[in-house]
Amino acid sequence: MHAAAPDPAAAAGQEGAPATEAAVRLLTGLVAHGVGDIVLSPGSRSQSLALAAVALARSGSVRVHVRIDERVAGFTALGLGRESGAPAVVVCTSGTAAAGYLPAAMEAFHAGVPLILLTADRPPELRGVGANQATIQPGMYRPWVRLSIDAPVPGEADPTVFADLAADAVAAAVGATGEGLAGVAGPVHLNLPVREPLSGTLPDPLRADRGSVPRLGPTAPLHLVRGPRTVVVAGADAGPDAERISRTGGWPLIAEIVSGSRFGDHVVPAYRERLREPALAGRIERVIVFGHPTLSREVAALLRRTDVEVIAVARGGESLNLSGATVDARAIEVEAVPAARTDEDAAWLAAWTRAEGTHADLAPDGALDRTALVRAVWDATGSDDRLLFGSSRIVRVADQALAGKDVRVHANRGLAGIDGTIATGIGITLAAQARAQTADAGAGRTGVTRVLLGDLSLLHDVGSLLIPADEPAPRIQVVVGNDGGGTIFDGLEVAGTAAAEDLDRAFYTPQAVALAPLAAAYGWTYVRADGVAELAHALAAEIAGPQLIEVPLAR
């Protein structure tokens, strides 16, 4: 008869504090349900969680990333979840630290990205009485999370409850349970009050076998027949499903550059211009939407039309329903009825996909403008790479200038903010590198992640350049189009109504930050590209760690 294996969490409780036993049970439970990454922000109240996390990392059970800024930590975890499909965990102390996660939680909700927020807290007797570093944390992310739990204080409940919380958190984060739209991933909040002693002795070594993230069962698809004049719209995070459905149905594909669907023979070139043709767009009878379209007013106007049937496949935390009559779907399949496409079907597709001349010309003499910039980055990015577009003017140029290509694309378009763009890119990079190491890494190169953004997006997230020296160096190129300010406002109404000095002060916010010493201060390599050839050379060069590429642009 074999003796039962020792329980490391119980050993922690015997040798230390209830807080440590609870932390071990919670984190080992998360790992057992597929969590592979924990992002820590240092703090006292969360010390039992932090110590358990680094002990698990030491045994190879989990990867730990330390970020001193909670907003950076939140978006790093968001990037990890974006790329891997598994929820990453963020851990912080009480007080304003927890508020730093809010932008990432909001983006994760609207974009449908799994994320687990662990916020340490004061126990109930220290809430609402003016205690130091205590605020109102239970339910603080309530509108944006699929599950919100104020956990029991360790020592007041059966310790196994923390393992149960881990299982519940992962299931809700991937969309299997929890509030909100069924089958849609999103953030989860576990608020964790703890009394002193805040930590104790841990088992050494502390190990946990990583399990698999729960997978959703097959969803009954909505079956569509051919017949109505249909277009497929692919917004952010649509992925290859949009291309597959357009090809199966024989329908035109309006694919935003951030969709990951802009490839194949059905892609509509210059889709904005096509949608402005009344003789063509006015004949649309049905629109099938994947992802979250945000980049053009023409698509938004199409989705608001009440004379068009709109069918949207849920992706983020909110239903896409601009017309007030959208049909929600979890999956879509095309019936083979009629079995053969008609001449009218073929003519409909041909009218949308007819070839056009180049609608955005390159700058002369090898100079760099925004169009040349986005094309160079697009051309350099291959199937092993990742490309993250920031919410800058550049992404709209890319949407108009770039042809179809099957590339793994990311963008934080859930709310289309500039928060955490670099941090998200680093998270994507780390997840891609981890996958290459655990899979058959010898089959090909790891690839590079490129972040293409504007100068203000860079400066807004400059703290993300700080990467601990004892962590794996991300193979990332942050490519910044530097035009000295927020020129995205050139295309908005305010540019035609406000005085020039007011535009500068309140919107354009001109800047002249020297990016070379900034990169050096954080230990990033730096390249300045003033021409197309220089940029192409920089993008093609092998890199071992993070690199900042500055591309000066005229206003």
Place of tokens 């983020």: 316
pLDDT at 555: 79
CA distance 377 to 546: 16
Strand order in the sheet with 147-150: 63-66, 37-40, 88-92, 115-121, 187-193, 147-150
Structure tokens at 398: 């890319």
- Of the chain, the percentage scoring pLDDT greater than 90 comes to 81
Domain boundaries, the chain: 8-193, 222-353, 364-552
Instruction: Say which CATH architecture domain 364-552 belongs to.
Output: 3-Layer(aba) Sandwich (3.40)
pLDDT in tens, 183-236: 999 999 999 999 999 999 999 999 999 999 998 877 788 999 888 999 999 999
Residues whose CB is less than 8 angstroms from the CB of residue 127 and which lie 6 or more positions away in sequence, other chains included: 121, 134, 136
Domain 222-353 carries which CATH code?
3.40.50.1220
pLDDT at 225: 87
- Of the chain, the percentage scoring pLDDT greater than 70 comes to 92
pLDDT at 310: 96
**Are residues 219 and 241 in contact, defined by beta-carbon separation less than 8 angstroms?**
no
Strand order in the sheet with 286-290: 253-255, 230-234, 286-290, 309-313, 327-329
Asked if pLDDT for residue 40 goes beyond 70, the answer is yes
Q: How large is the average pLDDT for residues 311-315?
A: 90
Asked if pLDDT for residue 363 goes beyond 70, the answer is no
Asked if pLDDT for residue 306 goes beyond 50, the answer is yes
CA distance 183 to 555: 44
Q: 59 vs 11, 56, 84, 108, 432, CA distance in Å?
A: 17, 5, 21, 30, 21
Whether 8-193 and 364-552 share one fold: the answer is yes
Asked if pLDDT for residue 11 goes beyond 60, the answer is no
Q: What is the CA radius of gyration of the chain?
A: 25
Structure tokens at 91: 């851990």
Residue 27's H or E segment, with its range, is: helix 18-32
Asked if pLDDT for residue 511 goes beyond 70, the answer is yes
pLDDT in tens, 63-90: 999 999 999 999 999 999 999 999 999 9
pLDDT in tens, 169-178: 999 999 999 9
Instruction: Say which CATH architecture domain 8-193 belongs to.
Output: 3-Layer(aba) Sandwich (3.40)
Q: How large is the average pLDDT for residues 162-167?
A: 98
pLDDT at 14: 44
* Listed residue (417, 402, 388, 373) closest to 476, CA to CA: 388
CA distance 8 to 51: 14
pLDDT at 218: 74
Q: Which residue has the higher pLDDT, 511 or 10?
A: 511
- With cut-offs at 50, 70 and 90, classify the pLDDT of residue 266: very high
- With cut-offs at 50, 70 and 90, classify the pLDDT of residue 5: very low
Residues 105-137 as b/e (b if ≥16 CB within 10 A, e otherwise) read bbbbbbbbbbbbbbbbbbbeebbeeeeebbbeb
Q: Which residue has the higher pLDDT, 151 or 10?
A: 151
pLDDT in tens, 368-401: 999 999 999 999 999 999 999 999 899 999 999 9
